[in-house]
Structure 1
Amino acid sequence: MSFTPAYRPDPRFQALGGDFADPVQPADFPETALRFRNDRAAATVGLEALDDAAWIRHFGRFDPLPDNQSVPLAMRYHGHQFRVYNPDLGDGRGFLFAQARERGTDRLLDLATKGSGQTPWSRAGDGRLTLKGGVREILAATLLEALGAPTSRAFSLIETGEALTRGDEPSPTRSAVLTRLSHSHIRFGTFQRLAYFERRDLIVRLIDHVVELYYPELADAPDRPAALMEAVVAASARLLARWMAAGFVHGVLNTDNMVVTGESFDYGPWRFLPRNDPNFTAAYFDHQGLYSFGRQPEAVFWNLQQLAACLTLVTDQQGLLAALNGFSDAYRTALRAAILDRLGVRSRGAEADIELVNSAFRALAEGGEGLRWEPFFFDWFGGEASTGRAMDGPRAELYRTENFEIFRRRLAAFDPDWPERLADPVFQRPEPEELIIEEVESLWAPIAAEDDWGPLHAKLDRIESARRAYDLGAAGDKKAAS
């Protein structure tokens, strides 16, 4: 039996009907070579027992999963791209393949694709994904999860044997199809498309669908659209805070790249900061720095405003404005929590927390070229309990300078949060796991040159070790329960 009892199919999106998606056929690839399967993610939906042949049938050939969607669905949406409205979007190289309930939480999860072939929304595109693009998404999602950010998980990567031509990398290049596991693929742009066509009835239907499946606590809200807006604001603020704490730059924060459940997905020209720089951009084509690291809060809030504008078709503005006005406080609160989690210390109350967070950002800024983003949080994880580790480590000389005096003094006042984590072998290493662009390229190089996947899989193993060591998700669960 390939499917465990934890496999609980629940294909709900298809019930919304033909106004929301189009049935499509996956591409018939000349080859299907399995390059990556995420068995930890698969176990959450009862698919970890599939052998490789069955895995390839379902995630390379896209044979339907039992009792799930009978055909893939290319989702319809619009969106602002660099703040220019585009009504010609939609799933152009992907589709929703299946939905299932998550083991333990009962959350509804999507299995969706990237690079699975042309759809009615492909326009002039070939519907394909480069193998390098798939590798980059695996890396981004894996590290973000380790650092406590809400994210889709790279589920499967299968090389497909086609030679692709791309203008932004050496061509021809290898092709692949990626499957990701995520809470939802309902974008801000899904609502924008319905507002564009003034389909109030469909907006109400979509709101009811989102509330039922993702925010059931809002079912009895007197103003359901405003209550949903408030929930999406809170989820987006938390996502943004976790990006900023991770030093992550999404690169393309268009409205079609944000979902109502507040998770990051669809990783294109992402980057992790090499060091503190608010003007750092991820996309080479972002000439104005619209989506630079320091402008990500502005970008997320602007996108939330566009979602609120759609909901004005079905409710009064007052509740929507109140939800939007809560964004700044929600973000600041979420950022304090995110930075404290990254430093591995317990809250001492809002005022002390704010002082610590501000001093951490100042220390990062004043560290200059000699201080990379990720090593700073790694060195001081656990607070005062890591003083010896930090002051004997490779950045000890920098930490002894006057610039770090205030930060160290304030950090010393905070108790470590589950200090037993520091006994993990990960914290006996001099350097953390990070993903600055030079390392990403070095991981791709042996794949491109010699089909050597060893360095990539070794890196993923090390990131997994870091995830278990930080255990940020579990720490957050413990805090919520205390």
Structure 2
Amino acid sequence: MPLTPAYRADPKFPELGAEFYDPVAAADFPKTILRYRNDRAAQSVGLDTLTDEEWVRHFGRFEPLPDNLAPPLAQRYHGHQFRVYNPELGDGRGFLYAQLREAETNRLLDLGTKGSGETPWSRQGDGRLTLKGGVREVLATAMLEALGVPTSRSFSLIETGEALMRTDEPSPTRASVLVRLSHSHIRFGTFQRQAFFEKTAALETLVGHVIDHYYPHLDRAADKASALLGEVVQRMARLTARWMAAGFVHGVLNTDNMSITGESFDYGPYRFLPRNDPNFTAAYFDSAGLYAFGRQPEAVFWNLQQLAGCLSLVTATEPLVEALNGFGPAYRRELIAAMLDRLGLRPRSEEEDAGFVQAMFRAIAAGSEPLRWEPFFFDWFCADEERALAGPRAELYAQEGFEDFRRLLKTYEPDRPGRLGHPYFARREPEELLYDEIEAIWAPIAEADDWSVFEAKLAAIDSARRAWGLPPQQKV
């Protein structure tokens, strides 16, 4: 295997003990057809030099990586699903395949799977992932990374040659196995399981493990549990703000989908906003709008409260409440920063920035016709009024609802205005990832096994990422 020196195996999860996982084996798939490999992500962990054949052996057949986990581990956890507690959860169609160090930052990263077969936690499910579901997740993570959202990265997608039966899409349908690269797969629900069984020693072990490997600067904290919650609160405030600035609706903000490192992952039903609508939902089964776009901060805070409840078994309530109280101020601060980043502007004062962002939201909601979310940021990037007023939405921007926004925008300096020289900004329309386009990308795959539209879309998203000049992966 031609591994580079950047590959550094470091399997730490087994240190937690058998209470936290079950050794499992991957399904024996009829076929393994490589559909996507993320060489940029692979380079960051020293796996980019694998041949396609070797890639398939590891990420389709799951032969162990050198000095890594063998066998893979299905994690145990509980969770609230739409605020109803479920003690029957756990990795039901995935497992932790490997842990390794990121070359540039030395961060501990996970390679985890989705659709790799049944586990003890499958709950009568088949442990599989539809190919369409895999395609949708690859697209979601590419777009979110480009927009500066802390997210897992889709690492590999392999079609497996099985025909799956599903109730929410035409069946039988094609199957796949996805591998994602994440900072951690430890969830809020990992803590909830130990709290449910009142295993305080295991909770303390888990707190220590998370601090040792993800928040080592907290090692000397007098109260590690509340210090950890404080850090997670800050990270989740940042993540939520970045979702909102990206116009992203996760769809299923259950506690088992909340990562302890504040990274977005596991994309089932999701949507990017077609226009500013706080009541917009991503999941057809979210009839009450619990996880609607405008309620995402509320949902994340509720989940943080459940994590605090778990930690109350090992520390006092008062410092946990104090940590939770930091969410609101942190979210407001992070939302302002995220919106300024989206427009490519340098911050001014806290008061001025807050007023400007309020004017920005009013402008997005104004006008005689609905304004699509992404074009607003594209048109006004780096405060280029001339470009915005020469574009396809010039008539809308000339309306009264944009007066305050345009007046305040003149007081801001662009951040790295040279970015406007990228060919991306010579276009009339930005890259978006709306529902209809995802369906249009899937159609030629389903009908003719034509992957060219999918591949072209990924290339276009990557071009936008480079044009925006955001870090290739927001660090958590």
Shorter-chain TM-score bucket reads over 0.9
Q: Secondary structure at the match of 1:313?
A: coil
Which segments of structure 1 move beyond 4 Å, counting only runs of 4 or more? 474-477
**Residues 149 and 474 in structure 2, CA contact (< 8 A), matched pair in contact too:** no
1:480 matched to which residue of 2?
A: none
**Residues 150 and 473 in structure 2, CA contact (< 8 A), matched pair in contact too:** no
1:367 and 1:204 mapped to 2: Cα distance? 54
Q: Where does 1:173-322 land on structure 2 (aligned, <5 Å)?
A: 173-322=173-322
**Residues 114 and 178 in structure 1, CA contact (< 8 A), matched pair in contact too:** yes
Q: Deviations over 1:337-381 (max 9, x none)?
A: 000000100001101100111011111111464310000011111
2:86 matched to which residue of 1?
A: 86
Aligned CA RMSD, in angstroms, stands at 1.1
**Residues 145 and 474 in structure 2, CA contact (< 8 A), matched pair in contact too:** no
**Residues 249 and 293 in structure 2, CA contact (< 8 A), matched pair in contact too:** yes
**Residues 282 and 292 in structure 1, CA contact (< 8 A), matched pair in contact too:** yes
Task: Return the letter of the residue paired with 2:47.
Answer: L
2:374 matched to which residue of 1?
A: 374
Q: Secondary structure at the match of 2:109?
A: strand
2:231 and 2:393 mapped to 1: Cα distance? 41
Task: Return the letter of the residue paired with 2:114.
Answer: K
1:2 and 1:436 mapped to 2: Cα distance? 39
1:395 and 1:213 mapped to 2: Cα distance? 48
1:395 matched to which residue of 2?
A: 393
1:114 matched to which residue of 2?
A: 114
Q: Deviations over 1:373-414 (max 9, x none)?
A: 00001111101xx11111100111101111111101111110
1:76 and 1:429 mapped to 2: Cα distance? 48
1:209 and 1:47 mapped to 2: Cα distance? 26
2:68 matched to which residue of 1?
A: 68
TM value normalised by structure 2: 0.99
Q: Where does 1:119-138 land on structure 2 (aligned, <5 Å)?
A: 119-138=119-138
2:368 and 2:244 mapped to 1: Cα distance? 18
1:73 and 1:405 mapped to 2: Cα distance? 56
Task: Return the letter of the residue paired with 1:427.
Answer: F
1:464 and 1:331 mapped to 2: Cα distance? 28
TM value normalised by structure 1: 0.97
Structure 1, unaligned runs of 5 or more: 478-482
**Residues 145 and 472 in structure 2, CA contact (< 8 A), matched pair in contact too:** no
1:361 matched to which residue of 2?
A: 361
2:408 matched to which residue of 1?
A: 410
Identity of aligned residues (%): 67
1:429 and 1:82 mapped to 2: Cα distance? 41
Task: Return the letter of the residue paired with 1:100.
Answer: L
Q: Secondary structure at the match of 1:19?
A: helix
Task: Return the letter of the residue paired with 2:284.
Answer: Y
**Residues 421 and 470 in structure 1, CA contact (< 8 A), matched pair in contact too:** yes
1:238 and 1:161 mapped to 2: Cα distance? 40
1:377 and 1:366 mapped to 2: Cα distance? 15
1:31 and 1:412 mapped to 2: Cα distance? 58
1:339 matched to which residue of 2?
A: 339
1:156 and 1:343 mapped to 2: Cα distance? 32
Q: Secondary structure at the match of 2:97?
A: strand
2:81 and 2:190 mapped to 1: Cα distance? 14
1:172 matched to which residue of 2?
A: 172
Task: Name the CA shift for 1:368/1:439 in 2 (closer, same or farther; >3 Å).
Answer: farther
Task: Return the letter of the residue paired with 2:293.
Answer: F
Q: Deviations over 1:238-274 (max 9, x none)?
A: 0000000000000000000001100100000000000
Task: Return the letter of the residue paired with 2:33.
Answer: A
2:459 and 2:62 mapped to 1: Cα distance? 28
**Residues 431 and 464 in structure 2, CA contact (< 8 A), matched pair in contact too:** yes
Q: Secondary structure at the match of 1:370?
A: coil
Give the number of equivalent residue pairs: 475
2:142 and 2:368 mapped to 1: Cα distance? 28
Q: Where does 1:156-171 land on structure 2 (aligned, <5 Å)?
A: 156-171=156-171
1:473, CA displacement in angstroms?
2.2
